[in-house]
Amino acid sequence: MLRKRKQPTPGFKLPAPFQPITGERAPLLVKGVYPYVAMMQVAAEDTERDYVICRGFDVRIGRFIDYEEGNDDSPGIPVAKPFGKRYVGAYQIAQIFPAILPLQTDNPSPTDVPWRVGQNPGVSTVTPGHPADLDEEVEALKDTNDIYINWMLLDGGEQLVEGCLAENHPGYGTVFTIKLQVWDSANNGHKPDPNHTGTYHAIDWRYGMVYPDAGARGLFVKRHGTCGGELVDMYEVVSFDCEKPPISCGEAEVASCA
């Protein structure tokens, strides 16, 4: 008669996991497809193009993973950004989003598909964000420590951002520079973005518009473009002030409740 080994992991000297319902030993790997959803909070400055460091409850291990810079006991969780928001500065610290683990399965992807991501969100090999076409390959996404990333944020695509002309508008189809603004809830207005204090590339493809001087404000959508032969973040104008407002880019707008 074949007897079960009393200790299935003698090398590690660990007791066998016990299943209290059936009275049998629980399998170490449950086969099948298991999608997971968890809430993640952005915990570090958004400095990577394809992912952001978060903290949250990892439902696979039943443990809350915190983040503290330089603390190996609180490493945080690298979470992939949606393909449509893969650029630096897409997220702010303390923002909360649901995140998914795309796939948990033993089944391999079809061999005729030019990309294999499995439970990894993947990353385009050439184009930032979404692949440029169906022939572009999608590789597995890793963090700066060469560790595979599993989770991906559930969030929308491109969003409108507020910007301020850092120079006089040069006209249709010519690249110019802007400074980014953020909403100031204390004053019900906009103020300079403290996380993005430099200037950024922008372009205006609208016809027959009045082009204002430095200090005018507008709404932009973030694109990926080239400038001087280098790949850069490019902000395309959606709408713009026709004239320069009475305050400059470096000042905050303050509303009155009177």
Contacting residues for 134 by C-beta, under 8 A, at least 6 apart: none
Minimum mean pLDDT among 22-31, 68-77, 120-129, 146-155: which range?
22-31
If one counts every other C-beta atom within 10 angstroms of the C-beta of residue 218, the result is 22
pLDDT band of residue 96 (cuts 50, 70, 90) is very high
Mean pLDDT for 174-199 is 87
Q: What is the pLDDT of residue 37?
A: 86
Mean pLDDT for 202-219 is 89
All structural domains of the chain with their residue ranges = 34-157, 160-240
Euclidean distance between CA atoms 143 and 254, whole angstroms = 41
If one counts every other C-beta atom within 10 angstroms of the C-beta of residue 118, the result is 17
Q: What is the pLDDT of residue 99?
A: 94
Euclidean distance between CA atoms 37 and 100, whole angstroms = 4
Euclidean distance between CA atoms 121 and 153, whole angstroms = 10
pLDDT tens figures, 4-13: 555 555 666 6
Residue 23 above 70 pLDDT?
no
Residue 28 above 60 pLDDT?
no
Share of the chain above pLDDT 70, in %: 79
- Total-model pTM: 0.62
- Amino acid in the structure at residue 15: P
Q: What is the pLDDT of residue 10?
A: 60
- Per the model's pLDDT, the better-predicted residue between 110 and 91 turns out to be 91
Q: Are 46 and 88 in contact (CB under 8 A)?
A: yes
Euclidean distance between CA atoms 59 and 110, whole angstroms = 28
- 160: nearest Cα among 208, 90, 64: 90
Euclidean distance between CA atoms 93 and 195, whole angstroms = 10
pLDDT tens figures, 110-163: 666 666 666 788 898 888 888 888 888 888 899 999 999 989 999 876 678 899
- Per the model's pLDDT, the better-predicted residue between 170 and 195 turns out to be 170
Residue 29 above 60 pLDDT?
no
Q: What is the pLDDT of residue 248?
A: 83
Helix, strand, coil tally for the chain in percent (to 5): 0, 35, 65
What are the residues facing 25 on neighbouring strands?
Answer: 18
- Amino acid in the structure at residue 37: V
